[in-house]
């Protein structure tokens, strides 16, 4: 196919133990999926109505690249999250069908312009400018699901400049992975290549230029980077 301008590059992630890469279609995120984080943000969790938002695929920062400090903010926050990669899709899925779609796992940061988010919340506006900006989604290499066990006792944590900022086990999630995927499938037709950020625990805080971060989904994936 011929295009009028150069076609954008396909965003992708490396795969642990392989020379192949995982192509990214869309990036979905769930908010308020850890009760303690919801409380620290002054919010409550409605278990019957999970809250979703999106980031563009080209917001993903891969291969340990530097993370530029974004424009239009003076309060950039980290939110460490398990990232799930889908190898299939569908609509109106049951949790059992949804669980079978998981292709792999990684760890990522849902970076947030917290000052812009607070302004949006105060006015009842969408969060897009606070969440969906350039370079707002650093993600590790992916570990194929067939190679690992991810359970309620799997640990997720983030260090910044060697200091532990966030730590949890996946059992603290309000909505588990199958439930998240199933709920998303009632709103969107999911497809292979979709990434899902599954929520952040308490302890979110500011990042500054020069900060180095190390995130782990323990035993599965690690992410290192620096804010520049």
2 assigned to some structural domain: no
- Per residue in 64-123, pLDDT (tens digit) is 999 999 999 999 999 999 999 999 999 999 999 999 999 999 999 999 999 999 999 999
Question: 80 with 57: CB under 8 angstroms?
Answer: no
What integer pLDDT is reported at residue 44 of this predicted model?
74
Least confident of 20-29, 34-43, 100-109: 34-43
The residue segments making up the domain with residue 32 are: 22-226
Residue with token string 């769930």: 30
What integer pLDDT is reported at residue 51 of this predicted model?
94
pLDDT at 219 over 90: yes
114 assigned to some structural domain: yes
Distance CA 191, CA 83 (A): 16
119 assigned to some structural domain: yes
**Angle at CA of residue 58, ends 148 and 168, nearest 5°:** 40
40 assigned to some structural domain: yes
Mean pLDDT, residues 182-207: 98
168 assigned to some structural domain: yes
28 assigned to some structural domain: yes
What integer pLDDT is reported at residue 39 of this predicted model?
76
SS (H, E, C) the chain: CCCCCCCCCCCEEEECCCCCEEECCCEEEEECCEHHHHHHCCCCCCCCCCEEEEECHHHEECCCCCECCCCCCCCEEECEEEEEEECCCECCCCHHHHHCCEEEEEEEECCEEHHHHHHHHHHCCCCHHHHCCCCCEEECCEEEHHHCCCCCCCEEEEEECCEEEEEEEHHHECCCHHHHHHHHHCCCCECCCCEEECCCCCCCEECCCCCEEEEEECCCEEEEEEEC
What integer pLDDT is reported at residue 38 of this predicted model?
65
Question: 51 with 184: CB under 8 angstroms?
Answer: no
120 assigned to some structural domain: yes
**What is the chain's mean pLDDT, rounded?**
96
- Per residue in 42-72, pLDDT (tens digit) is 767 778 889 999 999 999 999 999 999 999 9
Output the pTM of the full model.
0.96
Task: Of 58, 65, 59, give the one whose Cα is nearest residue 225.
Answer: 65
40 — pLDDT class (breaks 50, 70, 90): confident
29 — pLDDT class (breaks 50, 70, 90): very high
131 assigned to some structural domain: yes
| CATH number, position 70 | 3.90.850.10
Number of structural domains found in the chain: 1
């Amino acid at each position: 196919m011929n295009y009028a301008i150069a076609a954008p590059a396909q965003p992708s992630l490396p795969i642990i133990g392989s020379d192949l890469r995982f192509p990214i279609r869309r990036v979905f995120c769930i908010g308020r999926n850890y009760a303690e984080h919801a409380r620290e943000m002054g919010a409550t969790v409605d278990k019957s109505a999970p809250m979703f938002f999106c980031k563009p695929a080209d917001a993903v920062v891969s291969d340990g690249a530097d993370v530029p400090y974004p424009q239009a903010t003076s309060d950039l926050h980290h939110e460490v999250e398990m990232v799930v990669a889908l190898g299939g899709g569908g609509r109106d899925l049951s949790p059992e069908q949804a669980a079978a779609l998981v292709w792999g796992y990684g760890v990522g940061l849902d970076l947030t312009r917290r000052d812009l988010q607070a302004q949006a919340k105060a006015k009842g506006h969408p969060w897009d400018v606070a969440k969906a900006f350039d370079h707002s989604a650093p993600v590790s290499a992916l570990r194929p699901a067939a190679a690992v066990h991810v359970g309620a006792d799997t640990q997720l944590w983030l260090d910044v400049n060697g200091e532990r900022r966030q730590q949890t086990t996946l059992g603290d999630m309000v909505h588990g992975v199958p439930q998240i995927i199933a709920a998303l499938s009632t709103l969107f037709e999911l497809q292979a290549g979709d990434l899902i950020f599954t929520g952040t625990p308490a302890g979110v805080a500011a990042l500054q230029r020069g900060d180095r971060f190390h995130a782990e989904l323990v035993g599965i994936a690690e992410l290192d980077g620096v804010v520049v």
